[in-house]
Amino acid sequence: MRAPTHDALALPGTGQPLGWGRIVSDRTCPMCAAIRRVNLSLIPEPGIPMPKTPALISALLMVAALGPAQAANGWDESVAGDLSNFGTVPTAITLGLGANLIAGTTGRVAGAVDRDYFTFTLPAGMQLESLTVLPGSTFLGQSELSFIGVQAGTQVTVSPTGGSAAGLLGWWHFGVNDVGTDILGLIGTGFGATGFNAPLQAGSYAFWVQDTGTGTAQYRLEFGVSAVPEPAAALLLLAGLAGLACQARVRRR
């Protein structure tokens, strides 16, 4: 759905836009891949028992802790039903590690704007690292731009007709040129909003999508969630692998 018109958002007495409008303008697990790249010489020769050392145990525990990738979640209005039209009671959705599809329709029909609001919580250890506009998204009006905004917390309390981004964490106008593009960082640059640097860390967030053009616009957005890298855990794994390498060399002597 599209944000209020640029005229309505002009700075008083200047005629200059306030800034809502844009200037015209299964994956391979990286840890598994790293483990596969470890020199095969670390594997003991036949008949030599696997060393049960703290280093080995630490490495095995780290690999086990990674576990299998979680199934992606999300929301598709064509399957799950219409998302909420009210920012104070957004639809609660769940995101899992990996790619999460959020798909729906917005637009102005019979004079009424269909705005979509949804919220999700990223637990500790997870982060939103990307938000990609997928093929199949369509846009209305001459500018062919839709609007997306995000507010910290579980509600969007910013008025959709108030003409101010104050209270939003970020926002962006996305269109045809953004298909296939990660716009999460751009959302963090929205004029008048608090702003943020991607990725978004653990916490609750409420999103708002709209297109105020006449007709129906489709949007397909992929929310990419990943685990937050933990330096201490990575060092522990490296230490364990280094211990295995040392023991393998000792046994060859």
Reading the chain (253 residues) residue by residue, the pLDDT tens digits are 444 433 333 334 434 444 443 333 334 444 344 434 433 333 444 454 544 445 444 443 443 444 444 344 899 999 999 999 999 999 999 999 999 999 999 999 999 999 999 999 999 999 999 999 999 999 999 999 999 999 999 999 999 999 999 999 999 999 999 999 999 999 999 999 999 999 999 999 999 999 999 999 999 999 999 999 977 555 666 767 777 776 766 666 6
Burial of 145 (C-beta count, 10 Å sphere; 0-12/13-18/19+): buried
User: How far is it, in rounded angstroms, from Cα 37 to Cα 35?
Assistant: 5
Nearest to 143, CA basis, from 16, 5, 11, 8:
5
Give me the CATH code for the 7-23+71-227 domain, please.
2.60.120
Q: Are 100 and 73 contacting, i.e. CB atoms less than 8 angstroms apart?
A: yes
The pLDDT, as a whole number, for residue 31 is 39
The pLDDT, as a whole number, for residue 233 is 55
The pLDDT, as a whole number, for residue 248 is 66
The pLDDT, as a whole number, for residue 44 is 45
Q: Domain spans of the chain?
A: 7-23+71-227, 30-67+230-252
Backbone angles phi, psi at 244, to 5 degrees: -65, -40
Nearest to 133, CA basis, from 212, 186, 198, 206:
186
